[in-house]
Amino acid sequence: MFKNIILTGFMGVGKTSVGTRLAKDLGYVFVDTDELIEADQKITITEIFSNFGEPYFRDVETRVIKRILENEGQVVSTGGGAVIRDENRRAFKENGITICLTAHPESIYARIRHETHRPLLQVADPLANIRELLDARERFYRQADFVIDTSERSVDDVIDEIKEKVRYACC
């Protein structure tokens, strides 16, 4: 098995839902980088963006990612933009297998439209912003070892596919 299974992908694709159950199934520890960032900074991600801006947030995110990837036996759920930094993608590759979860923009919007803690969606046209961000990050997401579309799929189905891909890749 791999040191870690790292889940990347845009917000609302199911990283937390899939990751918590996958970790339990495999006997791994589930780690959410966004939760660790909030604990580290003692404020919410929305407040970090509002008070300090995205570049500051990305610096903290990179530091947290490097720290947690020193450990093994984890399913790590990363923030949607973590892949935009080369050093983060390099750390993912060096410390586990990377699975990118994707979904159609409409599926993502349907899943997260009522959530107020998503700073990148606090705009006039959230669906257009989702499309724009997905397009901008697409080339980074595609660098994962495997890409799995979660649109219209159950958590169990996605977990089964991840287990199959991880088994295939390692053995």
Predicted local confidence at residue 83, as pLDDT: 97
Torsion-angle region of 154 (φ positive above 0: left; ψ -120 to 50: alpha; else: beta): beta
Model pTM score: 0.93
Question: Block means of pLDDT (10 residues each) for the chain, length 171 residues?
Answer: 91 96 97 97 93 96 97 96 97 96 95 75 86 95 97 96 89 62
Contacts of 109 (CB under 8 A, 6+ apart): 12, 126, 127, 130
State phi, psi for 29 to the nearest 5 degrees: -95, 135
Interaxial angle between packed helices 54-68 and 86-94, expressed in degrees from 0 to 180 and rounded to the nearest 10: 10
Q: Report whether 106 contacts 127 (CB < 8 A).
A: yes
The helix/strand/coil state of 75 is: strand
Closest among 140, 73, 66 to 102, alpha carbons compared: 140
The domain limits of the chain are 4-170
Closest among 105, 100, 107 to 153, alpha carbons compared: 107
- In order of 40, 50, 100, 143, the CA distances from 93 in angstroms are 24, 31, 12, 10
Closest among 18, 120, 121 to 77, alpha carbons compared: 18
The CATH number of domain 4-170, selected from 3.40.50.720, 3.40.640.10, 3.30.300.30, 3.40.50.300: 3.40.50.300
Predicted local confidence at residue 124, as pLDDT: 83
Predicted local confidence at residue 161, as pLDDT: 97
